[in-house]
Structure formats: structure tokens, C-alpha cells
Amino acid sequence: MMGINGKGTATSMRLAIQQFLKQEIDESGSRGRIVNISSSAGITAIRREATYAASKAAVSMLTRNVALDHAKDSINVNAVCPGVVRTAMSSTNFNDPAIIAEMKKGTPWPRLGEPADIAKVVLFLCSDDAQWVTGQNIAVDGGFTVGIPL
């Protein structure tokens, strides 16, 4: 998991930055934008998810460090940190009412996430409206990382 999430993210960013450094700065003031996909599990501890959480925490710290290293080059580097989202990977869980009820207990928002919730934040980070946003790990998790609702 560390190889895919950690090394895979580092390699992808390295290759993107090599290309971006060949490009001129665009009208918005950026040479390019990188948006990594981390996870809320990389921000807060989750039972029985240590390896996954550690690999996503690596993505979050890679994001911050590479953003710091390449801000001077006008390259934006950010990450989104999804919470519980209905995807192909989680489809089995979304078919089990007991698991859904358990997941909702940890998410303050009254519904679980959909892929469009994540996509909208990624689109923002790729837009000119985010030209001065770099080094951020944005939780898109219905409040999961804010705290456990009682």
C-alpha cells in the first residue's frame, strides 16, 4: 500500500513537475497544478486501518513538502482528503445497512459522500480561483475529521 500511495504519488508528482518546469507561467500565474488524492484516514486515526492511514498520511505530507519546494516555481500542489464516499472500492459496504449505519455515526453530515462531492473540490483546485492555494490537504468528508458526533 505504501508503494502505491506513497511511491506512486511521489513518482507522479516528480514527472508532472518535470513537465511543468518546461512550461511558461500561464495567465493565472501558475505553471501547473497537482491535486493528489489522500484520505481523511491520513488526517485522523481510524481503527483497523493503520497501514492505509499511514500511506495516506504520506500522501498528505508529500503534498505539503512538494508544495513548499515548488511554490517558487509557480506550481500549485494540493490534496483532497475524502471521507466515506460511495465508490466501486466501497460498494460492498454500501450494500450493507449495518455498515452504512456505522459509517454514518462517524460523519456529522446527514449523508455519506458521493464522487461528485470530491470532484467539485478537485475542479476548484484546478481552476484559476485557486491560484494562491498551495500545500493544502482539504478534507472533503462531511465533517468526519472535525470530530465524532455524539
| Active site residue ranges | 52
Contact 142, 107 (CB under 8 A): yes
Contact 145, 43 (CB under 8 A): yes
**Secondary structure tally for the chain: helices H, strands E:** 6, 3
Contact 137, 63 (CB under 8 A): yes
